[in-house]
Amino acid sequence: MKKWVASAMALTAMAGTQQALAQSQVSNYGIIDTGVVYTNHANAAGNSVLKMPSLTSSFPSRLGFKGTEDLGGGLQAMFLLESGFSVDTGAMGQGNRLFGRQSYVGLKDSWGSLMLGRQVNMTYLVTAKSDVMGPNLFSISSIDAYIPNARSDNAIGYLGSFSGFTLGATYSFGRDTSTAGGASATGCPGEVAGNAKACRQVTAMLAYDSSRYGVSGSYDILYGNTGAANGLTSSDNHDQRVTLNGYVMLGNSKIGGGVIDRKTRAATGNTDSDLYYLGFSTPLSAALVLDAQMARLNIKGSANTSTLSVARLTYNLSKRTALHTSLGYMKNAGRAAIPLDVGGTVGAGMNQLGVMTGVRHTF
């Protein structure tokens, strides 16, 4: 009798374990992507440089963990932890954060997903389908490095899709707790007693996608506070971006473009600029893909303009491994000094030519 009871208890425990495993799913994933890049006019003397980039190649390298748990009735719990790193040195990215790309927990059902924690905001998501180059080393990320780094600390986020429409929004109680980690790092932690506006950030997105085309728009405003970077030293200062984007499919080819209007009100002065981009992507064979893009930054009231031209070939060795080569040219007018490569350098008013080749593996 005792043996029968013990066996029954063991079978019950095993069944419970199998049910828990069926209801919960945890997986890891990642991208390792690096290469070698050459650019000319990398300093005021016009010298060239040959290097291995740290920030990105065709995609920023990362390691992530994600999971869901079925809570019943269509409701799921979820989490995501994603760490960025530099392949050339092995250093952690996003200002030496352990999970600097994303770290959130939330709930989701048919009405959408609700997330709490550090997460990408709507400026990051809105260009995902219209920007054919994405976070490539030569791309609009060179002109506005905030775009591929648009993340918010201390944030509540929502994302939902309904009959082709996608709605999204984030609200951050304090945009960024660090000044290290690139253009998105403002050193504005917020959550200040007596100042409900300090370091707050609001982003919102509305998009529509069909099988042949898509359009999207977004709004993003960040308020400053004492000690914040980029001249946002008061909660009366702000940095605002409004975007309009779209794409159309022509067979297997895509044409995508958009405009990003940016207005800043800072202690160092007010600026108003427009960034336009237009590109296409087409498969040349089952394994070979060509992407190309042109972009132009116009700073209103200034002679400083920058125009980017870039083309990229990607050869897919398998579903997970690819070789890629990019050729780019940045034309700087006036005293503009925007480098061709993300995180690179260029002499003021100098044009820059560059070539990059690399390898990418996903898992």
Assess if residue 23 is contained within a domain.
Answer: no
Task: Tell me what pLDDT residue 99 has.
Answer: 96
- What CATH number should be reported for the domain holding residue 261? 2.40.160.10
CA distance 142 to 37: 14
Give domain status of residue 261, yes or no: yes
Q: DSSP 3-state assignment of 273?
A: strand
Give me the number of domains the chain comprises: 1
In a domain, 321, yes or no: yes
Q: Is residue 9 in a domain?
A: no
Per-10-residue mean pLDDT for the chain, 363 residues long? 44 45 82 98 96 93 98 97 96 92 97 98 97 97 94 97 98 88 77 94 98 98 93 95 98 98 94 97 98 97 95 98 98 95 94 98 98
Q: Report yes or no: 190 and 207 within 8 Å, Cβ to Cβ.
A: no
Residue 159 lies in a domain: yes
- Rounded Cα distance between 216 and 124, Å, is 12
Q: Tokens 């996003």 correspond to what residue?
A: 94
pLDDT of residue 10: 45
Q: What local confidence, expressed as pLDDT, does residue 78 receive? A: 98
In a domain, 289, yes or no: yes
Q: What is the pLDDT of residue 186?
A: 83
CB 221 within 8 A of CB 240: yes
Q: Please report the pLDDT score of residue 205 as a whole number.
A: 98
Whether 5 is covered by a domain: the verdict is no
Q: What pLDDT was estimated at residue 17?
A: 43
pLDDT of residue 202: 98
Chain-centroid distance of CA 90 in Å reads: 20
Enter the tokens of residue 156: 């509540």
Which residue range(s) make up the domain with 131? Answer: 28-362
Q: Does residue 15 belong to any structural domain of this protein?
A: no
Q: How far apart are CA 305 and CA 275, in angstroms?
A: 10
Q: Which of 280, 277, 279, 278 is nearest to 261 (CA)?
A: 277
Distance CA(88)–CA(315), nearest Å, equals 22
- Shortest CA distance to 281 belongs to which of 307, 308, 251? 251
Distance CA 298, CA 30 (A): 36
